[in-house]
Structure formats: structure tokens, C-alpha cells
Amino acid sequence: MDEIIALNGSTATDHPVPQPAAPIDDGLNDESLRRVQACLIACEGISTEDLEGGIIQEMRQTLRDVIPLLQGLRRNCA
């Protein structure tokens, strides 16, 4: 592949991209990024205000309360 030369005659090797002295640790590894993506998908359609207000915790508590009732109904209907 031919090297690209700028109009002033310089090349990419004349201006190497500086590298950080140490690896950048933004705290987001692959598993963290995967979790964030899953949360974004799961919360689609829920407003930020509702999320900040604790709607997820409320929904989880509602499910904890209702699931045993539904399981009892299923047993009684079977």
C-alpha cells in the first residue's frame, strides 16, 4: 500500500500518534459495557424521571407480591 503524502510533503510517519503513558482505565470492561447495554434495552420506553423515581424497584416488588398469587391460582386451576 502506498503511503499517503500531505500537500506539504509530510507523511504519517512524520507525525506519529502519541500513545498514553499508561493504559486508560475508564472502569468499563466488556462485562460492564454488556450490562449497560442490557439496561438501556430493558428500560426502553421508561422515562428518566420514572427511573430516577424508583419505578424498577416498585415493579420488582409488585412481581414479588403477585407471582405467588398467580402460582397459587395456577395450582388451583390444574
pLDDT digits (tens, 9 = 90+) for 6-61: 555 655 566 565 666 666 666 678 888 888 899 999 999 999 999 999 999 999 99
Question: pTM of the predicted model, to two decimals?
Answer: 0.52
Helices marked H in 43-54: 48-52
pLDDT at position 48: 94
Greater model confidence, 54 or 1: 54
Confidence label for 1 from pLDDT (cuts 50, 70 and 90): very low
pLDDT at position 45: 93
Greater model confidence, 13 or 78: 78
Q: Please name the residue that has the C-alpha cell 500513545.
A: 19
Cβ–Cβ under 8 Å, residues 31 and 23: no
